[in-house]
Amino acid sequence: MSNPTVVSPMNRDKPVDAFVHALPKAELHVHLLGAASPETVLGLARRHPEVGVPTELDGLREFFRFSDFAHFIEVYIQTNQLVTTPEDVADLVAGVGADLAGNNVRYAELTVTPDSQLLMGIAPDELAEALLAGRARAREAGIELAWVFDIPGELGLPSGERTIDWVEQYAPDGSVGFGLGGPEIGVERPQFADVFARARALGLASVPHAGETTGPQTVRDAIEVLGAVRIGHGIRAIDDPVLVAELADRGIPLEISPTSNLCTGAVATLDEHPFNALRAAGVVVTLNSDDPGMFDTTLDHEYQLAHDAFRLSYADLADLARTAVDASFAPDGLKLDIRAEIDAVLAEELLES
């Protein structure tokens, strides 16, 4: 399956583009490796040609066309083999930060998979230092980064234990969350209960992936067993009206990434996407880019897509931007500042319209 063509950002009317770009934004669901721009990945591929990731742009674009979710995971794992030194990590963080800042993202919770880099031979202390070095460079671009550390589900409980061991000893400043990524099928959430309990004891919020390619029970397990206070994806909750009502009543946000859902086959078309149904049911939803470098998207594009495909007004888009800020773990002062800027952008748009 090739990555689907959604509405091209180049073919939109300018006012929508301008308004979306002007909105200050928070990004809650974006993976360090998957967010790397093609240019950044090409640089790493040329630095490490032995990995076999294409070293020319056309080849890389073809490499990032996914037949299904399992194929996406295979490509993701191979691309991760490009990140073998602290310098690679710092360059990735700085590059992702600059790309997000280019979409007027003021704050992002960047998902990092420590076990992947530790298994590539990066020393535990050097990984933490590299993350901080990249974060400092990103701050120069005007964006504040925070960390969500996740377990690669395909590596099972041993990876979860290695991950929390590293977090307990080396988690750098800005650490806010603990997650679980990778495939959902065959990766039962309850096996990680103790690992997530250790993370919560450190003050890290539980934000696992669930209900992207599996049914609503995975979402229930994430909440009831892992103590999730926010869910990565969670779109299949729509299949259980009782669960939808519980999500709405408890105010548990879903981190939704429409283009990602299309590219991995989690939904066949945007017409089938439950975004509007979840929102109409009172579920807290946020827009995110997930793996923008691999899915050829940006957070601006996700907001533009929501305007076009989900028929959201400018006021709706501003509300989504506020919701992401509110659902984030950013400092209160930063939240207030970004919300005020969102309100100002919307007020100016309404005044001009």
- The residues that are catalytic are 212
Structure tokens at 309: 């495909």
Structure tokens at 72: 């996406």
- Non-local (6+) Cβ contacts of 260 within 8 A are 266, 289, 290, 291, 295, 297
- C-alpha 337/C-alpha 312 separation (Å) is 24
Element holding 260 (H helix, E strand):
helix 258-263
Structure tokens at 95: 């590059």
Q: Output the CA torsion sign for 8, 11, 13, 17.
A: positive
CA distances 153 to 109, 182, 183, 214, 289, Å, are: 20, 5, 6, 14, 20
CA distances 109 to 176, 214, 218, Å, are: 8, 24, 23
State the distance between the two ends of the chain, measured CA to CA, in whole angstroms.
Answer: 41
Q: Which residue has the tokens 């992936």?
A: 209
The number of helix segments (H) and strand segments (E) in the chain equals 18, 9
Identify whether the C-beta of residue 132 lies closer than 8 Å to the C-beta of residue 200.
Answer: no
